[in-house]
């Protein structure tokens, strides 16, 4: 997933526009809740599904079904998992071991075995999982086994510790008065009103060239900066979510649709970026439609091979970590995905770990797939919106 630092080519005129954001949190209570803000799906969120009937037909639950608040788990078998024997199951092991750092009580025995085991190959990993876990098919409470998979990623952006002629879009720390001034200044006020600018003066973490770079950092809730320090040294650092201004979130993708600028099928992240490149004089107008503003904190990045911490409070693993609705699937649960690659019919069938969540990730068969960081991850995440079936693996009694 590695790639050069992304610089948005061809949009130099956009530096004067304010960066626009999304945040997945409406409150800041507790470390676990802060961790859950590691991402939200790429802007815009998936269009709302057709409303269900007032009284949907409920399929009878087979014997042995486990009921959860947003889902039901129907007993299944490893033989039912499409592509099970072809998955490189050994790749899951680091993510599984990290998930076992904070296990549920029902996973204590299995996680003890995970920590003491290092399978020799994919076949050995599958055999160990088959011996210790059992399979359930995830369905809606009404018995529907189909759902949706989208993707997210960790942006990688070039930044500078000081503003320059080209890098003039600031990324801010949370201001001291954020906790008591509620709601805080809107996005437009932060960009235009002297009082708001005075309150944030000196709180700049870094400066980036393109407001769309700032936009995607705030949409995803975290990111990597290839930082040019004041002495010219280069350093890779991570930005993490540190709060927002308490203003309502408004989708710029929805605004573009309502303005007739994009069709619903075009309002993906690549579509929004393309519109911005073609309409540089209207970018500021677009960005100010959303009054919410996100603040960051800087963190060290000791191991660049690991992603940001998800809602389970463990680092995410590219291609092996997903966000789920925890009312459907508890954190730390292995999940089997049956879907396709973005814009493709090639199957994407693999075992992943439920280690994150997001504000738009709700429902039984609903997953956001963590692609990693860099250009390839951004491209894949921005295009991902496919039908999904999923199963969970759970400790045997």
Q: Cα separation of 135 and 155, whole Å?
A: 34
End-to-end CA distance of the chain: 38
Domains in the chain, number: 2
CATH number (domain holding residue 140): 2.40.40.10
Q: What is the pLDDT of residue 219?
A: 77
CATH number (domain holding residue 272): 2.40.240.50
Regarding whether 272 and 315 lie in a shared domain, the answer is: no
Q: What is the pLDDT of residue 61?
A: 74
- In Å, the largest CA–CA distance within the chain is 67
Given 247, 277, 299, the domain boundary residue is: 299
Q: Full-prediction pTM beyond 0.85? A: no
Q: What is the mean pLDDT of each run of 10 residues along the chain (397 residues)?
A: 37 26 29 37 43 57 87 97 97 96 93 96 98 97 96 94 95 94 93 94 96 84 92 94 90 94 87 94 94 92 90 95 97 98 93 92 96 90 93 95
Regarding whether 249 and 126 lie in a shared domain, the answer is: no
User: Would you say residue 261 lies in a domain?
Assistant: yes
Regarding whether 282 and 175 lie in a shared domain, the answer is: yes
Regarding whether 255 and 175 lie in a shared domain, the answer is: yes
Regarding whether 207 and 136 lie in a shared domain, the answer is: no
HEC string of 2-28? Answer: CCCCECCCCCHHHHHCCCCCCCCCCCC
Q: What is the pLDDT of residue 10?
A: 29
Q: What is the pLDDT of residue 46?
A: 40
Regarding whether 146 and 125 lie in a shared domain, the answer is: yes
Regarding whether 315 and 288 lie in a shared domain, the answer is: no
Regarding whether 85 and 40 lie in a shared domain, the answer is: no
Regarding whether 246 and 330 lie in a shared domain, the answer is: no
Q: What is the pLDDT of residue 56?
A: 55
Q: What is the pLDDT of residue 2?
A: 39
Q: Are strands 321-324 and 347-356 parallel, antiparallel or unpaired?
A: parallel
Give 373's strand partners.
154
Regarding whether 169 and 278 lie in a shared domain, the answer is: yes
243: left (phi over 0), alpha (psi -120 to 50) or beta: left
- For 217, the domain range is 14-44+165-299
Given 245, 273, 299, the domain boundary residue is: 299
Regarding whether 281 and 340 lie in a shared domain, the answer is: no
């Amino acid at each position: 997933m590695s790639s050069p630092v992304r610089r948005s080519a061809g949009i130099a005129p956009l530096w004067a526009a304010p960066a626009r954001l999304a945040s997945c949190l409406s409150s800041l209570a507790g470390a676990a809740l802060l961790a859950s803000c590691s991402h939200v799906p790429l802007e815009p969120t998936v269009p709302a599904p057709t409303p269900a009937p007032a009284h949907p037909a409920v399929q009878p639950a087979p014997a042995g079904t486990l009921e959860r608040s947003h889902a039901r788990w129907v007993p299944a078998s490893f033989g039912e998992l499409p592509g099970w024997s072809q998955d490189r199951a050994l790749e899951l092991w680091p993510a599984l071991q990290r998930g076992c750092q904070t296990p549920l009580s029902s996973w204590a025995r299995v996680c003890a075995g995970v920590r003491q085991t290092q399978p020799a190959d994919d076949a050995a990993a599958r055999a160990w999982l088959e011996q210790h876990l059992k399979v359930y098919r995830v369905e809606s409470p009404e018995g529907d086994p189909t759902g949706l998979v989208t993707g997210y990623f960790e942006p990688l952006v070039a930044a500078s510790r000081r503003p320059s002629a080209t890098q003039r879009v600031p990324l801010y720390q949370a201001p001291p008065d954020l906790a008591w001034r509620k709601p805080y200044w809107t996005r437009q006020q932060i960009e235009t009103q002297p009082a708001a600018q005075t309150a944030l003066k000196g709180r700049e973490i870094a400066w980036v060239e393109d407001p769309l770079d700032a936009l995607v950092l705030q949409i995803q809730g975290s990111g990597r900066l290839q930082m040019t320090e004041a002495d010219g040294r280069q350093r890779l650092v991570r930005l993490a979510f540190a709060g927002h201004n308490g203003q309502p979130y408004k989708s710029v993708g929805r605004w573009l649709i309502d303005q007739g600028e994009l069709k619903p099928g075009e309002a993906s992240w690549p579509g929004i970026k393309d519109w911005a490149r073609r309409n540089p004089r209207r970018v500021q107008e677009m960005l100010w439609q959303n009054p919410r503003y996100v603040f960051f904190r800087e963190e060290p990045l000791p191991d660049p091979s690991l992603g940001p911490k998800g809602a389970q409070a463990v680092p995410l693993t590219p291609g092996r970590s997903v966000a789920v609705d925890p009312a459907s699937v508890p954190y730390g649960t292995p999940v089997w995905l049956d879907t396709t690659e973005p814009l493709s019919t090639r199957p994407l069938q693999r075992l992943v770990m439920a280690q994150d969540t997001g504000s738009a990730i709700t429902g039984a068969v609903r997953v956001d797939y963590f692609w990693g960081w860099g250009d390839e991850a951004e491209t894949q995440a921005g295009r991902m919106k496919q039908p999904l079936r999923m199963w969970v693996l759970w400790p045997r009694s």
